[in-house]
Chains A and B, each alone.
Chain A
Amino acid sequence: MSSIAQDRFARLAALRPARKSALSLDDQPRGILPEFPEGAGRLAELLGAAPQKNQFGEHLALRRWFSDPIGGESNLPAPEDKLDAAALRLLAPGAPDFVSDPREWLFLDTETTGLAGGTGTYPFLVGIAWWDAGGLEVEQFFMREQSEEHSLLVALAERMAERRVLVTFNGKSFDWPLLETRYRMTRTIKPPAPRAHLDFLHPARNLWRLRIGSVRLAELERQILGWNRGTDVMSELIPSIYFDYLRGGPAEPLVPIFHHNQMDLRGLAALATRILSLLGDPETHGQDALELFGVSRICERRGEAARARSLYQRSIASELPPETDRAARRSLARLAKREGDHELARGLWDGMLGDSREGLEAYEQLAIYYEHRAREPHRAAALARQALADLRKANRLGTIAPSAFRQQSTRFERRLARLERKAGRTLLDAPESKTDATP
């Protein structure tokens, strides 16, 4: 490079804030395998981990056994025999029979150099776990350098070949696609093909988001399983800790990442057990109405209408917060209508009329009911007018978004106009202003 270009480059680099490397790479001869980062040896010592060798090279591996996934008060022992098949059907309809065999389960969680995904994000620590000897066996693979990735991937593929069901938390959209990318990047190592993949993020979201807001694993452990992790590394710091280590930083800060990954796996195993028992027998295991509501949503989504109906009814009976209550009633009414139980549906809608999203849907559904089923177009028209009045009131009070107001008003105005045409004469027996004034 000419001196000019070097000068330009120096200025270029100076423009951007960057961490200065402690290790100067200038002194190393090119094309020769560099030494491991300084902390690599110390890390193995700290963790009691050993290098593992295969045809692609080496990586660090570590194994630990935990007597029960998370211990403490929650007391969720490892399953011994078959898992609840009905519950599993709700989670993964159409999955092969062996998903109910706990010996086929392999939990997986990765720690990566970023969340952006794409081809430049590395899973530098891959943790897997399985139930064993009444407890949970955790195995972790770590790349001391990116050059150890191939050997790590081979080791992981071997483990995955032993168990056919992959179990993750948000692994369907993050960990697994990332690993698939890594296998493809090798061009030589065949990506493992798990026969079934259970991901617990969505079930957890359905069950608990309404109650605890967050569905971060650590939060679920604390609030649902009653297990407090104690000190844990902040996930956002993980990539930079690894980068620091690569650049010659100390090994100590990496140790909590290994613990973090172990806790993620243990928490996942415990949460999976909890979700299975809840789905298998919500009446016994459900802790509150919100959980029942969550199970009913999962049932409804999977087409188990009868179960969904009875659970919606139970959750409504056991006092839901107002918003959730409306959502539950709406879902129940929809199910009832679909199954021809129009009286149940009508009763639910009657009690829901209002300017909420569900309330407006109730107006519409009731209007449809009176127009087509009960054949009382006057009542249908009256409902449409009442809905419009509610909408105008909400608009005056500013409790409805202007776009929603316009959209909904148009719908009910059209309905009203159609009903009038249908009746062949005006149904507007009261002037607009009068309707408007009705409370």
Chain B
Amino acid sequence: MAASTQGLAVRERSTLDTVRDALGTLVARYRADEVLTSVKHIPAREAQFRPMPGWVRPELAAAYRAKGIEQLYSHQAAAAELARAGKDFVVVTPTASGKTLCYNLPVLNAILEDTDTRALYLFPTKALAQDQLAELHGLATRLDDSFGVFTYDGDTPSDARKAIRERGHIILTNPDMLHTGILPHHTKWTRVFENLRYIVVDELHTYRGVFGSHLANVLRRVARIARFYGSHPQFICCSATIANPGELAAQLIEREVEVVEENGAPAAEKLFVFYNPPMVNRNLGIRRSYLNETTRVAKELLARKLQTIVFANSRLHTEVLLTYLQQANPPKPGAAEPIRGYRGGYLPGERREIERGLREGRVRGVVATNALELGIDIGSLDACVMAGYAGSIASTWQRAGRAGRRSGTSCAVLVASSAPLDQFIVQHPDYFFGRSPEHAYVQPDNLEILVNHLKCAAFELPIAPDDKFGVVDAQELCERLAEAGFLHRSGGNWHWVQEAYPADTVSLRSVTSDNFVIIHASAEDDGNTTGEKKGEPEVIGEVDFSSALTTVHPKAIYLHQGQQYHVDRLDFDQRKAYVRRVSVDYYTDAIRYTQVRVLEIAEEERIAGPAARAHGDVLVRSQVIGFKKIKFFTNENVGDGKLELPENEMHTTAFWITLERPLLESLPFALSDRQSGIFGLLYALESMATLLLMCDRRDLGTAVGERPPSPGVETEWHEYTTATDDPAKMKEFFEPNLYLYDAYPGGIGFSEPLYRVHDLLLRRTRELIAACPCENGCPSCVGPAGMKSERTKEAALAILDHLCA
């Protein structure tokens, strides 16, 4: 926490005036209020201090004092007291608020009081664990190395592992390693599990959706093993600001948790700017490229000697922006490159060097992916420019927090792309700056996920008759697993009876392990081959089952690390896609035919409209029937193709809105405009739902279908397709259901929350469409124009007016 004195000379110049001057230059040619949709001044905040608690061991207090910490911020003190009282809790902390102390202080104090104490720290990435390791090593040195702290992950050399298990008081690891490397070998970790007193879950908000649902099950397994060794660890969680940290933590650890939400850390003054690239074609809603605009913004800031971090949302964009900025800022003769890139795929040594360069001020600018969003210590920068919305408010704040961590004035600039979320955010600053509306959801009882972890649990320890595993009847599931040949009951317990190691086939980052591998068949066509690796097939990546058919169908252009690959062949049975490197000026978009059948309605209610909302279990049947070739930049359709691929059926959960007949009949539109409006509305609903659920667009699927005649009655598949190019030619819907379904088998917990926030969803969707300056609909609101009717936007708004009445 000691304030760094380096680079202060530079930082003093980063005054509000400098930033305002830069902004002035940027918008000189435009109408400022159209481009700068928000310039929010966030004043500095004073620290709220509390004294170091009396129970903290003197040597630990001295070690913190030596780091310049004499007293605690109020939230740190609250956390320390909760930890002391044995409570499970979650601390909500913005970037740079000293959150690591919230867990390190109580954990180290416990270790100093009783050297048998053990703690497990979970971080979502290896890099974060490395960063914490450095911090803890610093404390260990000040405490005469009275405790051992180690990272334990895939990079840990096997000859070091034994010593770590024996001597580590604090083990820093990640959920994946816990799942495949620690739990299945728990007998080697006897000492740790027997004395396990704390489990720290950092960056809790990252455990949502599929990953979070897996983590909840991994923690169920941890709880079983801890019970076996007679320990009952206490949970300390840290989360970025989200709307439901307590609920999320409670769902993940399956216990009541306390929430510490007030933040006592000081914050420096900050200017937060929303920059919407100027319109080029108002009709089509086309704006200037946000990448070019990001470059302009960053150049202005760098030119004013502000140390700047630029965030991009993909590796490709990182490289593009890096090239632009390096050209604009060449190194001085004999000096090192002042602008650097930082992303996954760089070697650890290189990363450390860049981090050091940033801290010491030698590196003036860095272009990064989200690899630099979490934790990693790079000191405080002056400015942060984001090329595109990070996908969630929490991530955006974390990125913005990279600038101005301690003192001085800093600025953060969000440059919006034309994606609906970006446009919504920059046009609704109140939404962004108000109380966080983002909820993180998990579904620990997703049957596919749960069953996979139940198998792992049986491998780790036979399942006893009184064993609990989530809400389901574990015994009944075990019987099923026995029938399928995975378990065998002996002496009342269920034992694992397979040669294979179940954790190996369960990835925490996807629902099923049924992945397609992508094989780069040959390097021969690369033109400039060196002859060294000629012709050797190479696995370049994996895609999960649900997205395989849309991303690696035959003739698809698959993008991997900025490189284009043409899919030559898809071997569906072997789950392999054979690709070849190409360079073309188009990408492909699969045409999918989707049908939804309602299986069971969980809840249903009539709403204004007249309409109805509902959520429940559905069967989604989809088939990729063709694809379109879309030209880069212009988005022209430059060709298409038909495909014959197997049909895919998925049992999942959905939220849906039924538009009743009187509502549709009251609309003053032609049939084709009305149909088009329905699809446009669904497109906008999906955008807004991903915002509220903190999820990705690919986590949700959409479909429109005729309402079943009577709920619960077995119905025929309805004749329609969401892929039809021209909604006007479609059969008329009598009472359509607009479905938003979880794009994962078994559902991942989005449907019920959507049902609950229904009103907010509709209201925000109306704002999104209404505030969009395009005339007839654009990708930022109701979807790309082209195929849709000219009155799409109007019709969608009219429907929403009825629904929100």
Contact = CB atoms under 8 A, between A and B. Distances in A.
Interface stretch (B89-97, B397-405, B494-502): B494-502
A25 B482 contact: yes
Contacts of B458: 120
A13 B448 CA distance: 10
A28 B483 CA distance: 13
B491 A147 contact: yes
A116 B501 contact: yes
A5 B358 CA distance: 53
Q: Which one of A13, A24, A146, A402 has the greatest number of beta carbons of chain B within 10 Å? A: A146
A21 B476 contact: no
Contact of A18 (B184, B479, B485): B485
Contacts of B492: 30-33, 147
Contacts of B489: 25, 28, 34
B484 A16 contact: yes
Contact of B497 (A20, A28, A113): A113
Interface residues of B, number: 50
B482 A118 contact: no
B493 A120 contact: no
Contacts of A28: 489
Given A7-B651, A24-B483, A116 B500 contact: yes
A224 interface: no
B476 A119 contact: no
Given A1-B476, A122-B495, A18 B490 contact: no
A9 B447 contact: yes
A11 B499 contact: no
A236 B714 CA distance: 48
Interface string B452-495: 00000011111001000000110111011011111011111101
Contacts of B433: none
Contacts of B480: 9, 13
Contact of B484 (A18, A30, A185): A18
B111 interface: no
A146 B491 contact: yes
Q: Which one of A12, A113, A184, A187 has the greatest number of beta carbons of chain B within 10 Å? A: A12
A240 B476 CA distance: 24
Nearest to A34: B489
Contact of B472 (A1, A181, A240, A243): A1
A247 B484 CA distance: 11
B483 A20 contact: yes
Contact of B473 (A1, A8, A31): A1
A185 to B, nearest CB: 6
Nearest to A10: B480
Interface string B504-520: 10000000001000000
A146 B499 contact: no
B599 interface: yes
Contacts of B155: none
Interface in B177-202: 184-188, 190
A154 to B, nearest CB: 15
Contacts, number: 121
B537 to A, nearest CB: 20
Given A25-B479, A119-B184, A187 B488 contact: no
B599 A146 contact: no
B472 A147 contact: no
B499 A115 contact: yes
Contacts of A21: 482-483, 485
A26 B479 contact: yes
A96 B488 CA distance: 44
Given A9-B477, A119-B186, A240 B499 contact: yes
Nearest to A180: B187
Nearest to B447: A8
Nearest to B472: A1
Contacts of B490: 34, 145-147, 246
Mostly helix, strand, loop or mixed at chain B's interface? mixed
Interface in B408-443: none
A402 B493 CA distance: 57
A12 B448 contact: yes
A147 B498 contact: no
A5 B482 contact: no
A360 B375 CA distance: 48
A239 interface: yes
B447 A12 contact: yes
Interface string A308-339: 00000000000000000000000000000000
Contacts of A239: 499
A397 interface: no
B485 A19 contact: yes
B223 interface: no
A177 to B, nearest CB: 9
Contacts of A20: 483, 485
B484 to A, nearest CB: 4
B186 A13 contact: no
Interface string A133-160: 0000000000001110000000000000
A4 interface: yes
A102 interface: no
Nearest to A182: B187
A57 B652 CA distance: 47
A401 to B, nearest CB: 9
Q: Which one of A20, A118, A239 has the greatest number of beta carbons of chain B within 10 Å? A: A118
Contacts of A7: 651
Interface in A108-123: 113-120, 122
B588 to A, nearest CB: 28
A237 to B, nearest CB: 11
B353 interface: no
Nearest to B530: A402
A187 B227 CA distance: 12
A145 B485 contact: no
B483 A146 contact: no
B500 A114 contact: yes
Nearest to B464: A31
B459 A118 contact: yes
B243 interface: no
A400 to B, nearest CB: 13
Contact of A116 (B462, B488, B499): B499
A119 B472 contact: no
Nearest to A183: B187
Contacts of A116: 499-501, 504
Contact of A119 (B448, B459, B465, B479): B459
Contacts of A8: 447-448, 651, 746
A181 B532 CA distance: 45
A304 to B, nearest CB: 26
Given A118-B184, A146-B462, A113 B499 contact: yes
A26 B482 CA distance: 10
A108 B235 CA distance: 44
Interface string A378-411: 0000000000000000000000001000000000
B600 interface: yes
A32 to B, nearest CB: 7
Contact of B488 (A32, A181, A247): A247
B80 to A, nearest CB: 34
B477 to A, nearest CB: 7
Interface in A1-52: 1, 4-5, 7-9, 11-13, 15-16, 18-21, 24-26, 28, 30-34
Interface of B: 184-188, 190, 228, 447-448, 451, 458-462, 465, 472-473, 475-477, 479-480, 482-486, 488-493, 495-502, 504, 514, 532, 599-600, 617, 651, 746
Given A9-B447, A181-B188, 11 more contacts: A4-B617, A8-B746, A12-B451, A15-B514, A21-B485, A30-B492, A114-B498, A118-B501, A119-B459, A122-B495, A240-B499
27 contacts: A1-B476, A4-B600, A5-B447, A7-B651, A8-B651, A8-B746, A13-B480, A18-B485, A20-B485, A21-B482, A21-B483, A21-B485, A25-B479, A33-B491, A113-B496, A116-B499, A116-B500, A116-B501, A119-B184, A120-B458, A122-B495, A146-B462, A146-B493, A181-B187, A185-B187, A239-B499, A247-B497
4 smallest beta-carbon distances between A and B, as pairs:
A147-B491, A120-B459, A114-B499, A120-B496
